Amino acid sequence: MPVIPFRSPRAPFRVEPPPAPSRTAVAVHWLRRMHVWVGLWGALLGLLFGGTGILLNHRDVLPIPAAQVQATTVQVPLPAPAPRTPQALADWLRRSLRLGQDPVRVQAEAARPVAWGDRSLIQPARWRASFAAPSGSVQAEYWVGNNYVTVTRSDNNVFATLSNLHKGTGMGAAWVLLVDTLAGSIILLSLSGVLLWALTARARTVGLAIGAASLVAAGALALAAL
């Protein structure tokens, strides 16, 4: 009868756990996530500011009515008694005309003598108030002593409105803070992009650093020679 040699049982199959990711891999992972979410936040405002920036840069050559304004001038009777200060006049205009925003500028020119032929006349004081919004603006002018104030309303088209949004004309602090977040997101995108490129392409980064240092050294030697 043949003898069957004894064979020890094979060791059970074991699945080795994956190696722990390196610090560089973890940093790249979180930088990519931040890059994506920050880019998503700034996408909508970036389109607005990018498009209006092109309009502003090429407003003299593009065949579009990028700053079309329609102006209307009227004379508004003053109440009795009339406002006593420029700020009181601006507040009354805001309430009576339902402008909805505070004046961006209130000016007062004192009465002064002016030449009139061979005589000198006293020009009365003049008050001005300006109200601005992306869709238009209101300019008020009042000569002290009149019973009316001259008001000029300018209505912008859609291109001029977008341009005013780009410049922040007539916008409040909330819009300014919102635009600041866009500027901050652009800075973060730039920094995270540079870090991602440096972490994933080290050899190229070292080569560029060496090349930049060589150019700086060559420039310094050339300036020293001059």
Q: Which tens digit of pLDDT belongs to each residue from 49-85? A: 777 777 777 666 666 655 556 778 889 999 888 888 9
Question: What pLDDT sits at residue 218?
Answer: 64
The number of helix segments (H) and strand segments (E) in the chain equals 5, 7
Residue 41 has a CB neighbour count (10 Å cut-off) of: 16
Contact 23, 29 (CB under 8 A): no
Q: What is the pLDDT of residue 37?
A: 75
Beta strands in the chain (DSSP E): 69-77, 105-109, 112-116, 119-123, 126-133, 136-143, 148-156
Task: Over range 110-130, report the average pLDDT.
Answer: 85
Supply the mean pLDDT for the chain: 75
- Contact predicate 71/154, CB 8 Å: yes
pLDDT of residue 12: 60
The pLDDT of residue 131 is above 80: yes
